[in-house]
Amino acid sequence: MIRTLALLILVLCGPAVAQDLTLPAGSRLVSERISALDSYDLPIGVFADGTIPVRQVEGRVERFTWRMQIGASTTLQIMAPMREQIEAQGYEILFQCEARACGGFDFRYGTEVVPTPDMYVAINDYRFLSAQRGTDVLSLLVSRNAPDGYVQLIRVSSGLSAPAPTPTARPPEPGSDALISTLVQDGHVVLRDLSFQTGEVALGPGPFPSLTRLAAYLAANPGTRLALVGHTDDTGDLQANIAVSTRRAEAVRTRLIDAHGVAPDRIEAKGVGYLAPMASNATAQGRSLNRRVEAVLLLN
């Protein structure tokens, strides 16, 4: 059971890739800030003599942060495969350092970091690198607060060099609507017309257009299956929330079978409680967004 839940979380929270980087399984895009024209001070050396050496660059500035489950992995274990990919894409590493060598507290607070809670940096446990390809530059900042890992990517494209790497996604299928397009491209989609209040598990009478579309998609694509994954806000303890989220997912599965004729072996239902929020639980709006059921695409 625990292994199945872990697998579903990894599938559901897989990286929303902002460029051609493959992040560790379980990565979740937390924030995305894009400025069409801005400037960025790219660190190119350690903190020394009261300052950090920087190169100011201008252009399209993209700032992304991810959060992931890393267990006991070190920051080097997180950073190394991404560094290899960056170099493989033609970037030259300009500068890299580990927390204490960077300058510890002074470097961390002297360089740009996306504000918490979107990015977390442990003063004594982070790694940084900056790189350049033509006139485009990027920086990568990795930290950890076990069992969570945090990644920040800042990329500046001047527009004078080759285009920066772009997301790789499967194109929408002809004739599919937005819900199915998202399912195919991202591998999962929130069924937004389903609504659950805190602690409630019953599915209303409907009809729910999302379920009609899912059933039609399954009928047209016999080589696919779906996992329905229930989520809650963080009200209450974990085990109770896993039970509630599982019952919600099972209610949706039952509706697809009974009302839409989907074969039982084409869909499964699991719940992960509050382990994979899509918004902050600190606000009523965030908690409402977190109470949801998602469809996850499974290929046979």
Question: For residue range 223-234, what is the model confidence (pLDDT) as tens digits?
Answer: 899 999 998 888
**Same domain as 194, residue 120:** no
Structure-block tokens of residue 90: 């033609």
* Mean pLDDT, range 227-249, rounded to an integer: 90
Helices (H), the chain: 2-12, 75-88, 99-102, 104-110, 178-186, 209-220, 238-260, 284-290
Q: Pick from 157, 190, 213: which residue ends a domain?
A: 157
Q: How confident is the model at residue 165 (pLDDT cuts 50, 70, 90)?
A: very low
- Does residue 2 register a pLDDT over 50? no
Residue 171 lies in a domain: no
The total number of structural domains that make up the chain: 2
**Same domain as 198, residue 102:** no
Identify the CA nearest to 194 among candidates 264, 243, 254.
254
Residue 199 lies in a domain: yes
Q: How many Å apart are CA 121 and CA 139, to the nearest integer?
A: 15
Residue 2 lies in a domain: no
**Same domain as 127, residue 23:** yes
Beta-sheet strands, E only, within 123-163: 126-133, 136-145, 148-157
Domain extent for 137: 19-157
Question: For residue range 70-118, what is the model confidence (pLDDT) as tens digits?
Answer: 888 899 999 999 999 999 889 999 999 999 999 999 999 999 998 888 8
Q: 128 - beta bridge partners?
A: 97, 141
Highest mean pLDDT among 16-25, 113-122, 278-287: 113-122
- Does residue 8 register a pLDDT over 70? no
Cα dihedral 70, 74, 75, 81 in deg (nearest 10): -80
Residue 213 lies in a domain: yes
**Same domain as 214, residue 129:** no
**Same domain as 40, residue 124:** yes
**Same domain as 282, residue 238:** yes
**Same domain as 111, residue 27:** yes
Q: How many Å apart are CA 21 and CA 93, to the nearest integer?
A: 16
Residue 169 lies in a domain: no
**Same domain as 149, residue 61:** yes
Identify the CA nearest to 184 among candidates 147, 226, 153.
226
Contact between residue 202 and residue 293 where contact means Cβ atoms under 8 Å apart = no
- Does residue 173 register a pLDDT over 50? no
Give the domain CATH number at 191.
Answer: 3.30.1330.60
Choice among 48-62, 191-205, 221-235 with the minimum mean pLDDT: 191-205
**Same domain as 128, residue 219:** no
Residue 242 lies in a domain: yes
**Same domain as 28, residue 151:** yes
Contact between residue 191 and residue 293 where contact means Cβ atoms under 8 Å apart = yes
Contacts for 242 with CB less than 8 Å, ≥ 6 apart: 5, 271, 272, 273
DSSP string for 238-266: HHHHHHHHHHHHHHHHHHHHHHH---GGG
**Same domain as 121, residue 195:** no
DSSP string for 259-299: HH---GGGEEEEE-TTSS-SS-TTSHHHHHHHSEEEEEEEE
Q: Pick from 95, 128, 157: which residue ends a domain?
A: 157
Strand ranges of the sheet holding 54-69, from the earlier edge strand across to the other edge: 28-43, 54-69, 148-157, 136-145, 126-133, 92-98
| CA dihedral over 259, 263, 264, 270, signed as positive or negative | negative
Q: Pick from 122, 157, 192: which residue ends a domain?
A: 157
Computed over every residue of the chain, the mean pLDDT equals: 83
pTM of the model: 0.50
Question: For residue range 31-52, what is the model confidence (pLDDT) as tens digits?
Answer: 888 888 899 999 999 999 899 9
Residue 1 lies in a domain: no
Q: How many Å apart are CA 96 and CA 81, to the nearest integer?
A: 14
Q: How many Å apart are CA 132 and CA 44, to the nearest integer?
A: 11
Choice among 63-67, 134-138, 170-174, 275-279 with the minimum mean pLDDT: 170-174
- Does residue 198 register a pLDDT over 70? no
**Same domain as 189, residue 118:** no
Residue 14 lies in a domain: no
Q: 22 - beta bridge partners?
A: none
Give the domain CATH number at 104.
Answer: 3.40.1000
